[in-house]
């Protein structure tokens, strides 16, 4: 396998929603690559553009959202150059998605088996029904559900089992990339943990790349090898996940998020929120979008948008780091 | 039953819950018990964190405490008064002492009312502070919860506020009657990470400044530990373990508490998750044994047949388990 050829390449991507009162800039100038068999975390708060990103990659944006700039390539193929028919074949066999709400992702009036067969047979014209049935059993075993539940309807399964079924359907056609949009948010911690363990195991067994979208820092840090952090539609930092702690220097927003999470096992628990509130995407602040909330903001932050800088193994979009090279460390 | 959950020696309990039972009919003369003989107490200015997964009965306990539902058994004593079975006007009176903050700040405010109207209603109705004008009281409440500039906030409607700001309005509204304690049911779980800390800190400040007691309901152990003097772990409507917060995290003894800790992301001492089924506990009235038995890695015959009593291990640390670690 050519390991250095990315599965997913996002180049200068901007997405906006057209509304009655103007454009809402949900994703701005995003660049991101995901390599084969890699798990990349995409972290952001509500309104940061992380879900819009996920939908853009899948080319699932609804009518009022437009890609204003840039490209999305999967296995070298520009997703937006495909015809409708090609896209239908491409989607799910090359890229798949696991949605947050398993209950609404599954059809309540179809059995689990019908839904898995549906995904298989509509993409693999050469597959016989028997082969598809066998594959469905195999998939159920892979996500550790008793194959007897193939005959079950979604409402007969627990939340965790439903999410496993959704994962089974996502990997049914051996896609190169699976986007997971908060797949465990609605689940209890123990179930969440067991599903994450399983995702990791299946990913190693089967081999595919994952873009894991979440708002939960500690969870993503455990699962992903690299983490991209979004704020106001921009990726403001990309960092190896093992550097995601306060002993390392980070973007002030990342630092703020890290300080905002109470640590479970620390001796002394102190937390500190980030002041202010997320920005209005219709009227983004000038310069760096984070400057109104940033404790280190200076004049230049208000005027000029910072460039991405390589800081060790991290990529950070902040003036603090360009200055730090001139001024001695604080 | 041991009184393991008694308050620290700071004074008499503000709230005493003893053998609380809530049951719901499920037809054919059968009942389920989402809350099964739960006892605890909360002192003035104390925060008790109630931790458990969905269906563990934590929200039901919260609702029973503010008497949104009537318990089927046991007693709730608040400030020396038995409120277990009060009705009508008495409940209204009781709401001056006990208030609730809900999980969803989008559903708990009326979209057609301004923030001022939201707060004016309880202030007028309950006249908690006689002699101070309604308007002044609203200003004071908004300042208390950090929603300044006050004049601007007053005019706003819920849709103009972010989730964190709305939750602050919900807290201000609860404070309007000068309550002695507040049941906060997952108040931060729908908020963004950067906003959560602010709301948690606000609750902490209110506890310190107003000597307000909280029952903090959550599924997140980290925030439970941050804000709670004590943590009580619930499973299948029963108390599994209760201890001072730091101790519960450092030295958990119940297999369920240990499972929760292993499963929580960001913990340093992580082991593999033990093989357990994810089946839901049996909540039927008249069940036998420990509710956690069908998921417990340490289960033996006695667990399936005999319900373990809540036993005190050390001062303030109690566990209901036949095989505690």
Domain housing B112: 15-254
Q: What residue ranges of chain B have pLDDT lower than 70?
A: 1-11, 128, 267-270, 275-278
How far does the CA of residue A47 sit from the closest CA of chain B (Å)?
10
How far apart CA B240 and CA B238 sit, in angstroms, is 6
Q: Which residues of B touch A268 (CB under 8 A)?
A: none
Q: Which residues of B touch A272 (CB under 8 A)?
A: 197
Name the residue in chain B with its Cα closest to that of A267.
B246
User: A141 in contact with B at a CB cutoff of 8 Å?
Assistant: no
User: A266 in contact with B at a CB cutoff of 8 Å?
Assistant: no
Residues in chain A: 330
User: B165 in contact with A at a CB cutoff of 8 Å?
Assistant: yes
The H or E element containing residue B116 is helix B115-126
Test the A interface: residue of B193, B204, B223, B296 with most A CBs within 10 Å: B193
Distance of CA A31 to the CA centre of its chain: 14
Q: Which residues of B touch A199 (CB under 8 A)?
A: none
Contact A190 B263 (CB under 8 A): yes
Q: Which residues of B touch A221 (CB under 8 A)?
A: 265-266
User: A158 in contact with B at a CB cutoff of 8 Å?
Assistant: yes
Contact A263 B222 (CB under 8 A): yes
Partner residue facing A189 (CB), from B195, B260, B276: B260
A83: left (phi over 0), alpha (psi -120 to 50) or beta: beta
Closest to B144 measured CA to CA, from B166, B122, B176: B176
CATH label of the domain that carries residue B127: 3.40.50.300
How far apart CA B222 and CA B248 sit, in angstroms, is 11
How far apart CA B46 and CA A194 sit, in angstroms, is 34
Name the residue in chain A with its Cα closest to that of B274.
A194
Number of Cβ pairs < 8 A linking chain A and chain B: 110
User: A222 in contact with B at a CB cutoff of 8 Å?
Assistant: yes
What is the three-class DSSP state of A281? coil
Contact A193 B278 (CB under 8 A): no
| Residue B9 resides in a domain | no
| Residue B310 resides in a domain | no
Indicate the number of domains in chain B.
1
Contact B261 A264 (CB under 8 A): yes
User: A247 in contact with B at a CB cutoff of 8 Å?
Assistant: no
| Residue B297 resides in a domain | no
How far does the CA of residue B85 sit from the closest CA of chain A (Å)?
33
> What pLDDT, on the 0 to 100 scale, is given for residue B11?
52
pLDDT digits (tens, 9 = 90+) for B275-310: 666 677 888 888 899 999 988 999 999 999 999 999
| Residue B35 resides in a domain | yes
Helices vs. strands in chain B: H and E counts, helices first: 11, 12
Test the B interface: residue of A223, A265, A272 with most B CBs within 10 Å: A265
| Residue B299 resides in a domain | no
User: A271 in contact with B at a CB cutoff of 8 Å?
Assistant: yes
| Residue B202 resides in a domain | yes
Name the residue in chain B with its Cα closest to that of A255.
B194
> What pLDDT, on the 0 to 100 scale, is given for residue A219?
87
**CA angle in degrees (0–180, nearest 5) for A41-A45-A49:** 75
Q: What does the buried/exposed string (b/e) look like for B288-299 if buried means 16 or more CB atoms within 10 Å of the residue's CB?
A: ebbbbbbbbebb
Test the B interface: residue of A100, A245, A277 with most B CBs within 10 Å: A277
Q: What are the structural domains, with CATH classification, of chain A?
A: 8-231 (3.40.50.300)
| Residue B187 resides in a domain | yes
> What pLDDT, on the 0 to 100 scale, is given for residue B1?
36
| CB atoms closer than 10 angstroms to residue B136 | 12
Contact B260 A221 (CB under 8 A): no
Digit-by-digit pLDDT tens for chain A (330 residues) are 445 799 999 999 999 999 988 899 999 999 999 999 999 999 998 889 999 999 999 999 987 899 999 999 999 999 999 999 999 999 999 999 998 887 788 999 999 999 999 999 999 989 999 999 999 999 999 998 999 999 999 999 888 889 999 999 999 999 999 999 988 887 888 888 888 998 999 999 999 999 999 988 888 988 999 999 999 999 999 999 999 988 999 999 999 998 888 877 777 777 888 888 888 888 899 999 999 999 999 999 999 999 999 999 999 999 998 865 544 443
The H or E element containing residue B189 is none
How far does the CA of residue B275 sit from the closest CA of chain A (Å)?
9
């Amino acid at each position: 396998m050519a390991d250095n050829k990315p599965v997913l390449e996002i180049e200068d991507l901007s997405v906006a929603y057209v509304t009655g009162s103007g454009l809402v800039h949900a994703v701005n100038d995003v660049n991101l690559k995901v390599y084969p068999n890699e798990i990349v975390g995409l972290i952001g708060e509500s309104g940061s553009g992380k879900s819009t990103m996920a939908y853009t990659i899948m080319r699932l944006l609804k009518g009022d959202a437009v890609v204003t700039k840039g490209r999305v390539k999967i296995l070298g193929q520009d997703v937006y150059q495909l015809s409708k028919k090609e896209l239908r074949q491409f989607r799910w066999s090359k890229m798949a998605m696991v949605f947050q709400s398993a209950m609404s992702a599954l059809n309540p009036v179809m059995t689990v088996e019908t839904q898995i067969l549906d995904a298989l047979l509509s993409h693999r014209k050469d597959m016989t029904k028997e082969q598809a049935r066998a594959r469905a059993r195999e998939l159920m075993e892979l996500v550790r559900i008793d194959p007897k539940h193939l005959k079950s309807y979604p409402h007969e399964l627990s939340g965790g089992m439903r999410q496993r079924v959704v994962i089974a359907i996502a990997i049914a056609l051996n896609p190169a990339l699976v986007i997971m949009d908060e797949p465990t948010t609605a689940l209890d911690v123990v179930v969440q943990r067991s599903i994450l363990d399983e995702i990791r195991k299946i990913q190693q067994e089967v081999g595919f790349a994952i873009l894991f979208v979440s708002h939960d820092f500690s969870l993503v840090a455990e699962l992903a090898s690299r983490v991209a952090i979004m704020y106001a539609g921009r990726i403001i930092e990309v960092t190896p996940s093992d550097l995601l702690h306060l002993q390392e220097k980070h973007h002030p927003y990342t630092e703020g998020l890290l300080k905002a999470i109470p640590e479970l096992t620390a001796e002394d628990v102190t937390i500190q929120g980030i002041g202010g509130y997320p920005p209005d995407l219709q009227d983004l602040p000038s310069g760096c979008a984070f400057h109104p909330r940033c404790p280190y903001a200076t004049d230049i932050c208000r005027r000029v948008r910072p460039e991405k800088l390589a800081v060790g193994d991290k990529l950070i979009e902040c003036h603090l780091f360009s200055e730090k090279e001139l001024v001695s460390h604080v | 039953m041991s009184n393991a959950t008694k308050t620290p020696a700071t004074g008499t309990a503000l709230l005493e819950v003893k053998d609380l039972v809530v049951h719901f009919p499920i037809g054919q003369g059968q009942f389920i018990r989402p809350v099964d003989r739960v006892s605890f107490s909360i002192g003035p200015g104390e925060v008790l964190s109630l931790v458990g997964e969905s269906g563990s009965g934590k929200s039901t306990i919260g609702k029973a405490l503010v008497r949104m539902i009537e318990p089927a058994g046991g007693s709730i004593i608040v400030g020396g008064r038995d409120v277990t079975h009060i009705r009508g006007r008495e409940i209204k009176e009781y709401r001056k002492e006990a208030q609730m903050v809900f999980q969803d700040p989008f559903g708990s405010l009326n979209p057609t009312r301004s923030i001022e109207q939201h707060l004016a209603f309880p202030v007028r109705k309950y006249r908690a502070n006689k002699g101070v004008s309604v308007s002044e009281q609203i200003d004071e409440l908004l300042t208390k919860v950090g929603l300044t500039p006050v004049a601007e906030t007053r005019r706003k409607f819920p849709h103009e506020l972010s989730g964190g700001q709305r939750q602050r309005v919900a807290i201000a509204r609860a404070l309007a009657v000068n309550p002695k304690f507040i049941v906060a049911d997952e108040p931060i779980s729908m908020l963004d990470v950067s906003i959560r800390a602010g709301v948690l800190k606000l609750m902490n400040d209110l506890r310190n400044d107003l000597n307000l007691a909280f029952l903090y309901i959550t599924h997140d152990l980290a925030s439970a530990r941050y804000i709670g003097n004590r943590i009580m772990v619930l499973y299948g409507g029963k108390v599994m373990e209760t201890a001072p917060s730091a101790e519960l995290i450092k030295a958990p003894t119940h297999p369920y508490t240990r499972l929760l800790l292993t499963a929580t992301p960001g913990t340093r001492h992580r082991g593999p998750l033990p093989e357990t089924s994810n089946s839901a506990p049996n909540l039927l009235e008249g069940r036998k044994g420990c509710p956690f038995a069908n998921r417990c890695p340490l289960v033996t015959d006695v667990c399936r047949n005999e319900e373990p009593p809540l036993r005190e291990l050390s001062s303030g640390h109690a566990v209901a388990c036949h095989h505690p670690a």
